[in-house]
Amino acid sequence: MIRIDAMWLAADPIDMRVGAERLLARVVQVVGAAQAHHGYLFANARGTRVKLLVHDGFCVWRAARRLNAGRFVWPGTTNATPLLSLTPAQFDALVLGLPWQRLPELSIITRA
């Protein structure tokens, strides 16, 4: 099992034809370095595909997921924050196509 201590979401879309080397180059370009045991999540412009890049301390792993229907909930492109930090629960919700940004408010049931 690959250990992931921190998960980062890249707000800018990326071409899904790129391989692990170009994804790694994008991380280094934006952040300055790819940290060991950190995961970096990318999406295409339509929000139907995601790729995860993980540096495990020795090598780089790449995983991909595609939705046949619907889209992944993705933040808008912003120059101020090119990478957003994700909690494990937010990551789990995101890859399932759920509204991960609303997890805190969805975890509480109130009476209207």
CA 106 to chain centre: 21
In a domain, 112, yes or no: no
In a domain, 25, yes or no: yes
What's the pLDDT score for residue 38? 93
In a domain, 17, yes or no: yes
In a domain, 13, yes or no: yes
CA 19 to chain centre: 16
What's the domain range around 28? 6-106
Asked if the model's pLDDT at residue 5 lies above 80, the reply is yes
In a domain, 111, yes or no: no
**Number of domains the chain contains:** 1
In a domain, 46, yes or no: yes
Whether 88 contacts 8, CB under 8 Å: no
The model's pTM is 0.80
In a domain, 1, yes or no: no
10-57 pLDDT, tens per residue?
A: 888 899 999 999 999 999 988 888 899 999 999 998 888 999 999 988
